[in-house]
């Protein structure tokens, strides 16, 4: 896949999956624009000093004006990859309205605002690619028992992806999502030490699917919510 000199926004790019996605993109020649909110995110990001990584400070992805500012600073946007989000596991009886709205903000609102800004930019430049991140419970609702707020927010991301893909295809924009199961990250291993970590998809493997969907090589796939479950 050739991303040579193509500009790509990666929200959530300083996280574990983000590191794998940004690493793959810059290896393929892309210039990556990576927003962050807290300084600690940038400080621990291993690729922060790479010449093809442009960190963008103080971007709250739930803030409409901040998201617009981020995308206004990207020349000739080719792809927008939305990894930012949050997780919460709690029975519904212990989930307040504030807890529910936090999941909506972190997962759905961030994706919606980033999609909207990306579409506006890509419409001006003749097309591009958008990739969102749903989750396994977004496709398999019963597996979301005990985390209904998270499941509902990610299911909404999947619906947003399919609807938007149909809306913007004639503008040359292909929109897709991936739906990972639990990924093999240090945080997930620490949270579930007894799980079979070998069955979990690796971040590099999930990143490879994202990179294809975001690449010029993807000429026909749109509206997909692609399961990336590994052997789990």
82 DSSP β-pair partners? 11, 132
Q: Mean pLDDT throughout 20-48?
A: 97
Phi, psi (degrees; rounded to nearest 5) at 74: -105, 120
227 DSSP β-pair partners? 179
> What is the rounded distance in angstroms from the CA atom of residue 227 to the CA atom of residue 177?
9
Q: Which residue has the higher pLDDT, 106 or 184?
A: 106
- Pairing state of beta strands 128-133 and 77-82? parallel
Q: CATH number for the domain including 207?
A: 3.40.50.720
pLDDT 10s digits, 76-85:
999 999 999 9
Q: How many domains does the chain have?
A: 1
80 located within any domain = yes
205 located within any domain = yes
| pLDDT range class, residue 143, cuts 50, 70, 90 | very high
> What is the rounded distance in angstroms from the CA atom of residue 112 to the CA atom of residue 136?
19
CB 111 within 8 A of CB 160: yes
CB 32 within 8 A of CB 8: yes
34 located within any domain = yes
176 DSSP β-pair partners? 131
145 located within any domain = yes
25 located within any domain = yes
1 located within any domain = no
The residues, any chain, with a CB within 8 Å of residue 37's CB and separated by 6 or more, are 58, 59, 60, 61
2 located within any domain = no
**pTM of the model as a whole:** 0.97
Average pLDDT of the chain to the nearest whole number: 97
134 located within any domain = yes
**Sign for the pseudo-dihedral over CA of 204, 210, 214, 219:** positive
**What does the radius of gyration of the chain's CA atoms come to, in whole angstroms?**
17
The per-residue pLDDT for 179 is 98
> What is the rounded distance in angstroms from the CA atom of residue 223 to the CA atom of residue 142?
22
Q: Which residue range is the domain that position 109 belongs to? A: 7-228
């Amino acid at each position: 896949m050739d991303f040579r000199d193509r500009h790509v926004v990666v929200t959530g790019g300083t996280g574990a999956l983000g590191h794998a996605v940004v690493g793959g993109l810059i290896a393929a020649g892309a210039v990556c624009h990576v927003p962050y909110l807290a300084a600690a995110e940038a400080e621990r990001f291993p690729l922060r000093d790479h010449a093809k990584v442009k960190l963008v400070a103080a971007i709250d992805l739930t803030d409409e004006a901040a998201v617009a500012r981020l995308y206004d600073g990207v020349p000739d946007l080719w792809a927008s990859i939305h990894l930012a989000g949050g997780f919460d596991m709690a029975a519904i009886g212990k989930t307040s309205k504030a807890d529910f709205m936090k999941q909506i903000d972190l997962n759905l609102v961030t994706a919606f605002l980033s999609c909207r800004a990306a579409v506006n930019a890509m419409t001006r430049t003749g097309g591009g690619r958008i990739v969102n991140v749903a989750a396994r419970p977004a496709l398999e609702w019963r597996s979301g028992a005990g985390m209904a707020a998270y499941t509902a927010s990610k299911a909404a991301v999947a619906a947003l992806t399919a609807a938007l893909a149909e809306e913007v295809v004639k503008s040359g924009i292909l929109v897709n999502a991936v739906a990972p199961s639990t990924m093999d990250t240090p945080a997930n291993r620490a949270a579930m030490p007894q799980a079979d970590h070998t069955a979990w998809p690796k971040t590099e493997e999930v990143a490879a699917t994202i990179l294809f969907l975001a690449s010029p090589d993807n000429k026909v796939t749109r509206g997909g919510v692609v399961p990336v479950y590994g052997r789990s």
